[in-house]
Chain A
Amino acid sequence: MQVLIIGAGKVGFQLAATLSRESYNVTVIDKKHEVVDRVSEQLDVLALHGTGVSAGLLKKARVSTQDLLIAVTDSDEVNMIACMTGKRLGVGRTVARIRDPEYAEELGFDKEDLGIDFIINPERAAADEVTRLLTVSVAGHVEDLASGRVRMVEMSLDEGVDIVGKEIGELALPDSFLIAAIARDGRVIIPRGDTKLCAGDIIYVIGKSKSVDEFFSAIGKYKPGIRKVMILGGGRIGYYLARNLVSRGIRVKIIEKDPFRCEELAEALPDVLVLNGDGTDIDLLKSENVTTTDAFVAVTGYDEENLLTALLAKRLGAKKVIAKVSRPSYAPMAETIGVDAAISPRLIITGDILRFIRGGKLLSLFIFLGGQAEMLECIAQPSSPGVGRPLAQVDLPPNTLVATVIRGNEVIIPRGNTVIRPYDRVVIFAPVAESPKIAKTFGI
């Protein structure tokens, strides 16, 4: 499959890296020389210098033979025009990153006219993610699969939890429930019955939504619904997040430094209290009752500020703190220093784009642990090597786990003797590098 990526910023680079590791032939266009140099040095892709709106350059990149064009430059307009031009020159499908709320909301009905097949909006995706974290009622990071019938939760274990120090085999786990993976010291472990759970572990559990909720209420991590949220940073993520939360009846305060942005926000969000000030100002945080807030979400443009103020808020008494972290190297650290969850818009939309590329066969996909591991959901194809024989005999890569099988309305936690049938939906937990092998195993 031929993929053309326009713009090799954070998202473009990550995409190029992920796709080139799989069986995709990737061409990258960027207008900065040093970026082009870096891409061709580090990745096995074709890197071209120039602007993606130029038809000449697109032709040079043999756009008519490309199956997919992904426009992820800084500029919404460039992305739109690149898709339009690409479409006219005969590219297969197009993906554009569009961040401006005005565009993103109004393009819904005329994106076909612009030749855009799929719009990604990183800020909105990040806000939706945080909304899910805050409103789904178990502690930790939550993903819903198979239209909500299957739930996966990422949670860090701290001292107090009574399953710490026990072996997984000793635990009374509910039906259709599995501890799929453990992240310890930044490495992924696929646990077995004799694996001991330690404080500081991040566990990934998967199962029927009901069973997952049961498990968390049994260990006392089922948290009451939140009512008050404080958001630091009134950028686009802050805006989308506030809008999401208000529509669910949650009281929201936003702290933003720029007075003009404050006015814009206050106009756009009538039910939100917009405060003009610095998030590191303890007096401001205290006088606005950070001590009793249910959640504090730091989404400014600076990772360091987000992490530090989130910790500060936690120390002042905020029940749950979430920080936006753009740098992949910070993400794993965030949760070890006490931030309840770190979100990275880049990883989220990389997942969204990969999901779009793989189309109907890989239904849902999320990346964890700063890009080390991912959750795949696919439909097993007939006559593929993974189908028709007990799982124990299927040749899967190391550290890979078939976590759930969904057959019709049935949710199955597979064992060694489980046989996957054609058209079963299979949820697999695997290191990112192994996804091509897995795709082959299930005939995708």
Chain B
Amino acid sequence: MNHALVLRSLGFLLLLEAAAMTIPLGVSLAYGESEYRALALAALLTGAAGAAMYLGGRTSVEGFGYREGLAVAALGWVLVAAFGALPFYLGGMFASYVDALFESTSGFTTTGATVLVDIEAQSRGLLFWRSFAHWLGGMGILVLTLAITPIAAGSTKVFQAESPGPAPTKLVPRIKDTARILYGVYFVLSLAEVVALSALGMSLFESVTHTFGTMGTGGFSPRAESIGAYDSPAIEMTVVVFMLVAGTNFALYYRFITGDRGAFWEDREFRAFLGIMLVGTALVTLNLRHLYYDSLLEALRYASFQVASILTTTGYTTADFDRWPEFSRAFLLLLMFVGGSAGSTGGSVKVIRIILLVKYAVRELHRKLHPRAVMPLRLGRTTVPESVLSGILAFFVLYMAIFVVSTLLMTLEGLDLLSAAASVAATLGNIGPGLGLVGPAENYAFISAPGKLLLTLNMILGRLEIYPLLTLLIRGFWRE
């Protein structure tokens, strides 16, 4: 392990975060709020820590190995979340640092689970920072670093460690250019949503913060009632569209722009993603029709928003779905284990892994009939290597193991089984609102400090897709 290089990289990451804090600082100053002091102090502290680590480390010719990449990804995310909590803590949003850490982690991991009881009483500078974290964490703070820093060596490993999905692909020969393209697409799409929401009558501040929450598939809103506060079908459908846009593999946009007209339709994952969205919306709409809403159209309006929100792991709400019929609640809980596409800003297991797991299971059935058959698993026209398959299988086992153990621990908190399971599914999958005690009308504030720390850990595990953080716990990782 090249400690000096890891230290320098982490330092650079914090310097970048300090720079990012100056944006909410500007917002705070523009609105003439007193919390600008907390933001300035947090930026200074973060910057100082970053500078110290940067100067303490060394750039080394040896560059990054796989271990360094994993270490930077795992430690980087923990540090960024920890320093990102400072504005909330210093600004008086929370009395306890654990609450501030929960909120900050929930922001960067694009979870959107909140411990904030009275959202609308908060200052705009801090609310901006809370949402801005979604936007930074959505496409990846390390990917952002790669896009703008001169550190080139070993960057592929960092990219792989942070990018969602089983096999991240480069779009162009250089990882730096790939990162720039991804952020470029991300920026343009975000700009489009700000314009669309503003045009529909939302204030600029709320348009921007909601865009951060949508494009990062986060879910923090400056309004207590989330998107439901506007009660506007036009705004809801705009957000649905952009949630789906954010839940799609960003590489597809690039391929489409560069002339591959079939990029979307030929992509099996995209087709499955849309298929789940359409079938899910239809099922929930039918289930809701008679019970809660006057017309089919109304049912469709709320169902489509909630299915898109949970499927893409955003977590915005327009209705208290915890009060929906059992089928809809159960369906939404299961959707929490699907998530967005690989290479999107969405979290959870990812559609592609679900597709491959299903195909894997079906293949085992066929194998019973033809024990000698050689049956490679294919996705569209390409064959999926067995190594990727076993990786996915292991990922799923670890994911479910973390879910089960965390759920057990949460029941020790005194949560009922449904609330405990939903709280873990919603944080591990980076969704936000769960069911029961942590439902969309509730928040996570009542949970004890150890419980909050456990869920915080779940959020980071989920965002980094488990491996980077868990490998740090293996003893062999630190040995030469």
Contacts and interface: CB of A to CB of B under 8 A. Distances in A.
A binds B: yes
Interface of A: 259, 262-263, 265-267, 270, 273-277, 284, 287-288
Contacts of B371: 287
Most interface-central of B370, B373, B374 (chain A CB within 10 A): B374
Given A266-B376, A267-B376, 7 more contacts: A265-B374, A266-B375, A267-B383, A273-B370, A274-B375, A275-B373, A288-B372
Q: Chain B: interface secondary structure?
A: loop
A263 B373 CA distance: 10
B378 interface: yes
Contacts of B375: 266, 273-274
Contacts of B374: 259, 262-263, 265-266, 274-276
24 contacts: A259-B374, A262-B374, A263-B374, A263-B376, A265-B374, A266-B374, A266-B375, A266-B376, A267-B376, A267-B378, A267-B383, A270-B378, A273-B373, A273-B375, A274-B374, A275-B370, A275-B372, A275-B373, A275-B374, A276-B373, A276-B374, A277-B372, A284-B372, A287-B371
Interface string B91-125: 00000000000000000000000000000000000
Contacts of B378: 267, 270
A96 B7 CA distance: 62
A288 B371 CA distance: 10
Interface string B275-287: 0000000000000
Contacts of A274: 373-375
A119 to B, nearest CB: 26
Interface string B371-398: 1111110100001000000000000000
Nearest to B375: A266
A7 B139 CA distance: 60
A335 B309 CA distance: 69
Nearest to B386: A263
* Shortest 8 CB-CB contacts between residues of A and residues of B: A262-B374, A274-B374, A275-B372, A266-B374, A277-B372, A267-B383, A266-B376, A276-B374
A287 B374 CA distance: 15
B421 to A, nearest CB: 39
Contacts of A266: 374-376
Nearest to A267: B383
Most interface-central of B372, B376, B383 (chain A CB within 10 A): B372
Interface in B338-392: 370-376, 378, 383
A284 B378 CA distance: 25
Contacts of A288: 370, 372
A273 B366 CA distance: 11
A265 B373 CA distance: 11
Contacts of B370: 273, 275, 288
Contacts of A284: 372
A186 B131 CA distance: 89
A280 to B, nearest CB: 14
A270 B380 CA distance: 10
A273 B369 CA distance: 12
Interface string B110-147: 00000000000000000000000000000000000000
Nearest to A284: B372
A360 B373 CA distance: 47
Nearest to B371: A287
Nearest to A288: B370
B366 to A, nearest CB: 9
Nearest to B382: A267
Contacts of B372: 275-277, 284, 288
Contacts of A273: 370, 373, 375
A112 B371 CA distance: 47
A405 to B, nearest CB: 50
Contacts of A275: 370, 372-374
Nearest to A270: B378
Contacts of B376: 263, 266-267
Contacts of B383: 267
A396 B383 CA distance: 60
Contacts of A267: 376, 378, 383
A235 to B, nearest CB: 15
Contacts of A276: 372-374
